[in-house]
Amino acid sequence: MSHPDSKASAGYRIEPGVGISDDALRDFAPALLDSLVDAIAVVDVGQRVVAANRRYVEAFGTRAGARTGAHCADVLRCPEHGAGAGVMCPACRARDEGRPQRVVRALPDASGVTRRWEGTFTPILNEAGVVSHVVEVWRDVTDRTSLEAQVAHGERLAAVGMLAAGISHEINNPLASIMAGVEALQRLTARGECDAEHCGEVLEIADILQREVTRCSDTTSKLMLLVQPSSASPAWTDLNRAVEDTVELLSYQMRRQQIEWRPDVDLALPRIWGRESELRGVCMNLMLNAVQAMPAGGVLTVRTRPVGKLAQLEVEDTGSGITPQDLSRIWDPFFTTKPPGKGTGLGLFVCHGIVSRHGGSIRGENRAEGGARFVVELPFKGSGGEAT
């Protein structure tokens, strides 16, 4: 067996002064960084790129000469650069706060093709404990993000499938009214009674038909908003409207289970920049979970309110709550406490991904009074679903 200090031995650990000289380590480090598949750069406190590996130059460097002291905002077309006081990019936050930061962002690569990149920003402290540089690591997650979007879309379709009975009921009721109105008009026409004396009755029936057709149209429109592909472009989304529409889609199931609906929404809540179908999917998953947690009845409370630059959404139920051993696992994919066939175990996992891509946060907790509470915070003007 070779001695551990031998350079020929496989799997050895390189440390300064152990098995390899400091000079050899300095010579070896660039080759080591260049061999990595992630794009890595070191930025100084003046936001200048002072070092970069081969992958970084291939991905971004040809845009602004990453090895020549270019400003990192020019290399990456940083959206926060020049946005005004108080708006900082993750690298600047890592520098000022001394804590690692993370973001997922849509950026064009050196060829001009827009791809999704996951970036981590780690501060380097000098001997005085002051941040001197920030290490940026960018990983191409385009394929992974596409897969997550497909999973999210599938979960929304699964939610619609679970609501099929209630949705059918909500549509069948107005259709029955429409059919009755059509039959009444046919009878009036057959008797030749469509004269002036019966005009009022005809108009009344026509109004009922129009109202019920509109009701059907509204229901199907809510469904279409929920199941549209995640590739839809971001838009200004009314979170309160998403909550109200979700309640309407769940109303049949809530009546069956004798669940009381208690809204507490801030009518002045500003709109959110994001992908509407995904944000509606978050509402649907959280509220459907709450309804399913109260099979014998209870109270569903949904709150919205502004908290600084964030919109806060709270969904509360009066069910049995979440056991301590499950609380740390609820975000795991395919984890579910529901009986077989009653859940995919992807709902909360998908919610976490959607909220993260919109630059927000989500947490689950038990209420002191019993039941569970989920709290979502989303920036009003965030990444619009393009980033985490």
Most confident listed range (172-181, 187-196, 234-243, 378-387): 234-243
Confidence of residue 378 (pLDDT cuts 50, 70, 90): very high
Same domain, 131 and 226: no
The residue range of the domain holding 168 is 146-379
Q: What are phi and psi of 50, to 5 degrees?
A: -105, -15
Other CB atoms within 10 A of residue 384 CB: 21
Within this chain, do residues 169 and 128 fall inside the same structural domain, yes or no?
Answer: no
**44 alpha-carbon distance from chain centroid:** 32
Same domain, 153 and 194: yes
Task: Give the pLDDT score at 349.
Answer: 77
> Could you read off the pLDDT of 186-222 as tens digits, one per residue?
666 666 655 655 666 666 777 777 777 766 766 666 5
Tokens in use for 274? Answer: 């994001």
Give the integer Cα–Cα distance in Å for 254 and 288. Answer: 10
203 compared with 290, residue with greater pLDDT: 290
pLDDT band at 343 (very low <50, low <70, confident <90, very high): low
Domain containing 50 — which CATH number?
Answer: 3.30.450.20
Total domains present in the chain: 2
pLDDT at residue 17, rounded to an integer: 46
Band of the pLDDT at 178, cuts 50, 70, 90?
confident
Instruction: State whether 126 and 213 are in the same domain.
Output: no
Residue 173 CB burial class (10 angstroms; 0-12, 13-18, ≥19): middle
Least confident interval from 29-33, 240-244, 276-280: 29-33
Domain boundary among 94, 112, 140: 140
The neighbouring-strand residues paired with 116 are 106
Q: Which of 82, 116, 140 is where one domain is finished?
A: 140
pLDDT value of position 286 = 92
The span from the CA of 384 to the CA of 388, in Å, is 10
CATH of the domain at 198: 3.30.565.10
Domain boundary, last residue among 98, 116, 140 = 140
Report the chain's mean pLDDT, rounded to a whole number. Answer: 75
Q: Is the pLDDT of residue 231 over 70?
A: no
pTM for the model: 0.50
Question: Which residues are CB-neighbours of 72 under 8 A, at least 6 positions away?
Answer: 41, 43, 47, 48, 49, 78, 91, 136
Percent helix, percent strand, percent coil in the chain, to nearest 5: 45, 25, 35
Domain shared by 36 and 170, yes or no: no
Question: Do 116 and 201 fall into the same domain?
Answer: no
Q: What is the DSSP letter of 57?
A: I
Instruction: Dump pLDDT digits (tens) for 321-335.
Output: 988 878 777 777 655
Mean pLDDT of 364-371: 92
pLDDT at 7: 39
Lowest mean pLDDT among 127-141, 224-238, 332-346, 355-369: 332-346
In a domain, 7, yes or no: no
With a cut of 90, say whether residue 304 has pLDDT above it.
Answer: yes
Which has more pLDDT, 51 or 170?
51
CA quadruple 48, 50, 51, 57: dihedral sign: positive
Q: Is the residue at 203 inside a domain?
A: yes
pLDDT, average across residues 165-179: 68
